[in-house]
Each structure stands twice: as structure tokens, then as C-alpha cells.
Amino acid sequence: MMSADPENEILLRGGRVLDPASGLDAPADVSIEGARISRVGPNLTSADARIIDASGCWVAPGFVDLHTHLREPGQEYKEDIRTGGRSAVAGGFTSIACMANTQPVNDDPATTDFILDRARQGSPARVYPVAAATRGLEGKVMTEMSALMAAGAVAFSDDGRTIMDSGVMRLVLEYSRLVEAPVMTHAEDRRLVAGGVVNEGEVSTRLGLPGNPAIAEVTLVERDLMLAEFTGAHLHVAHVSTRGAVERIRAARDRGVHVTAEVAPHHLALTDERLLDYDTNAKVAPPLRSEDDRIACRAGLADGTLDAIATDHAPHAQHEKELDFVEAPPGMIGFETALAVVLDMVREGEISPLELIRRLTINPARILRLEAGCLAEGSLADVVVIDPSRKWHYDPAKGYSKSQNSPWAGSDLEGRVLHTLVGGVPVFDAERGVLI
Ligand code: NCD
């Protein structure tokens, strides 16, 4: 995160404060002094504070995104740490974890160091590198976890690739215990994926495209749950997309396995039907699934089986997404649309505002053991002000990412971030845009 001097005092006045960590859901004011929250309560006053009017709005901790692709180093034509960080705060994300599938791969401390250095120079969001679990993401030789942790890595993952060798995965999990960091699994059995590019089912048949079956995810999730149980390690399942995975995670949690899991907004909102026009902007890994899977993911998020919402923000350039469907790279950008998309579950009565905010803030913060996601007095002043019913039109060309590959391009959305503060510094407001 870039450092900027916080103002003396900022008073967020008249909002509905949602702080899941303390269970607070009530009208209140929030006062920020320096980089931290100084007071939370009704009718706060101050002689010289800058006032931000939050009436009619929700005031919540800044969101924590466990799963992003910032593309730097190596693919800065898609995104860089500065533009990714700007897009993040425009979507209310104040802490973001970035995956290791950069070029070079983030598999050694020098690259981790570089990422953190770039973040300090240009990102308004706090950036937390996830280091590779194996060298070069090749699934063969483990990385040096303690050196990577010392450099600032917060978790380990070969995201984008699956660690197919169960013996390697076992070792990764065992060593992750020693360094006390979670292993985030990209669970897709490559042999079952077998080149599939859309969910295997009626839609893949109609499109005449190779299918990627749900079972490719479910078998790998089950293997990793068994290995987590055996090793006692903390397994985090990335981008859950199937009913089978939700059910197996729920069962494993019930028998005491240390597992956490995330789901992406697109798997909560869209199904493979979205691909009937061959829109490569809706091509993603794992793929958009069936309606039954979507319903199961929503239920899993609501009942807490899936702990967190993570965007899997995955920028790709226009010329790449203009390739034919099989060739185009999977992934979609996600920071700026995430809130509006997931608020649908509140509108549909499937989850309360406080529980939805919990899955965007304190839950992901705890998974990565970050100081974030909380509005209690004394905590870091990473805060968002949200208007949950503000209607707006999404044009990715007017957004902050370098890429525009969103399935929501040109859509009318409901629910918007109006202000984002990081460490007491206003970094975004809906009127003026990103401020630093
Ligand atoms: C990811 C990317 O583009 O880096 N894409 C995606 O669809 N989630 C990597 C990956 O998980 O395939």
C-alpha cells in the first residue's frame, strides 16, 4: 500500500454500521483519527473533523479479497499492481491477496519482495502476496516456504494449476503447518478436465465445445480434504463452483478438518447458460456451472460452509479474449462489480447484510491472519461506505483495471461503493474516483 498522510480526524456520520467481528448492526457514527478508528457510537461530535455523510448508507470494514491476479511482474499489458490496487479500492477492497501465476512465478523471496515494493509505490490497497507452493507452478518441487513467509507471503498456492501429484500435495500441506500458513488449492483434476472449456452438460453439447465436468472439481476437493485431515494442515479451497464440493467441504468441516473455502461472485450469479452466445468474457476456470450448482453455492455461502467471497479478478487483454472460445484464456475481472453482484443475495432474502459483510471482511481476514476486517475502536481504519440500492451502469472502459473482460460489461447494477478509506486515508469516492 502507498503511504499517504491521514487527515486529523474524519467523521463518518449517520450510517448503518455493519461490523460482523463485533456483531454490531446499528445506526452509529464512526470517527477516525490518524490511521485508526477512534470511536464508534451514536451522535459523535467533533470540532474540526472532516464529515462524510453516510446517511442512507452502510458503513462497513473494507473488503478483503483472498484471490486476485495482478499480473505484475510480467504481464503488465493486462494489469499491474497499481492499476489492480486502484480497481480494488473502487470496488471497496482494501486488502487483496495476489496469486503467484505471474512471470516470473512468485516462487522465490526476490519476487515476493518485488511485489511488495511495487505495492508500496503504487497501490492504494494493501497487497498480500500468495507465494507458489511448487517451483514454477510445476507441481513437482516445493518452494522454500519459510523464506517466502519471511519475505511477506501470507499463503501458498499453485492457483491456475492443480497440484496433481498427491505426494507433493501431502508435503506442501505438512510444511505449511510448520510455517502456519494456509494452502489454497485450485482443485481441478487435469485429466478429467481434459481440455474442457465449459461445464460439461447440455450447454457444452449444444455449443459443441469440450466439457469440463463437475467431477473434476469434486474429486480433487475430496482428495485435498483427505490430505488436510491426514496432515492436520489448513486447507483453503479456492473458487468453489459445484454442489459436490460444497457438500464435501461441509462434511469435512463437521468432522473437524481444518478447511476454509471461498466462492466467486460469478459462480453465485451466473450459470453456463450465459455462454450460449459464446461470450469469451464469461469463460473462466473453474467454469460457470449448472443452476443446481449455483443454488448450492449460494446456500453454502449463506450457511457458512463457504467462508468468504473472493473475486478471482483475472484480467486479460481484449486481443486475447477475441480469440475463438477454445483458445481464449479463462478469467474475468471482478473488483468493481463484486459488491453489486453479491448484494443480490440480500435482496433475495438469502443472507442478512451483516452476514454478507462478514464473508467479505473478517472471515477472509482471519483465513490469512491479516489485521483487517474490523471496525472496533483501535482497529485500522480501512472502511467502506456503501449505498446498497444505488443503481448504476457498468462500463468497464470507465473502470480502473487495464482490462475489460467482464461478463457484466454494459449491465445495469444495483449497489455501489461510495467511499473507500485505507488506513484513514480516503482513496476512492464515487464522485471523484480513485484519489491517490
Ligand atoms: C486465472 C488467471 O487468468 O490467472 N483464470 C481464471 O479463469 N480463474 C487462472 C486460473 O485459475 O485458471
| pLDDT score at 46 | 87
Amino acid at 162: T
Q: Note the pLDDT of residue 47.
A: 86
Q: How many H-runs (helices) and E-runs (strands) does the chain carry?
A: 15, 19
Q: What is the domain partition of the chain in residue ranges?
A: 9-59+379-434, 61-368
CA distance 283 to 276: 11
Cβ contact 426:10 at 8 Å? yes
Q: How far apart are CA 55 and CA 358, in angstroms?
A: 21
pLDDT of 96: 99
Q: Which atom of ligand 1 is nearest to the CA of 99?
A: 4
| CB distance 332 to 266 below 8 Å | yes
Q: For residue 41, report the distance from its CA to the centre of ligand 1, in Å.
A: 42
pLDDT for 2 equals: 81
* CATH number for the domain formed by residue range(s) 9-59+379-434: 2.30.40.10
Closest CA to 159 of 61, 261, 237: 237
Residue from 312, 323, 325 whose mutation best tests the ligand 1 pocket (most atoms within 8 A of CB): 312
Query: Which CATH architecture does the domain made up of 61-368 adopt?
Result: Alpha-Beta Barrel (3.20)
CA 330 to centroid of ligand 1, rounded, Å: 6
pTM passes above 0.95: yes
Helix (H, G, I), strand (E, B) or coil at 145: helix
Ligand 1 neighbour 79 (Cβ under 6 A): no
Positions in the chain short of pLDDT 50: none
List residues with catalytic annotation.
Answer: 312
Q: What spacing in Å lies between the alpha carbon of 335 and ligand 1's midpoint? A: 15
Which ligand 1 atom is nearest residue 331's CA?
7
Residue with cell 440480500: 346
Cβ-Cβ contacts under 8 Å for 120 (sequence gap 6 or more): 1, 2, 3
Q: From the alpha carbon of 186, which atom of ligand 1 is closest?
A: 11
397 C-alpha vs ligand 1 centroid, how far in Å? 21
Q: What is the predicted pLDDT for the residue at 1?
A: 80
CB of 101 closer than 6 angstroms to any ligand 1 atom: yes
pLDDT of residue 378: 97
What integer pLDDT is reported at residue 8 of this predicted model? 81
Phi, psi of 432 (to 5 degrees): -100, -15
Nearest to 2 by CA among 127, 92, 111: 127
CA pair distance 241, 272, nearest whole angstrom: 11
Q: Whose CA is nearest to atom 4 of ligand 1?
A: 314
- Is any ligand 1 atom within 6 A of the Cβ of residue 330? yes
Q: Specify the pLDDT at position 81.
A: 98
**Entry field: residues in the chain:** 436
Q: According to the model, what pLDDT value does residue 163 have?
A: 98
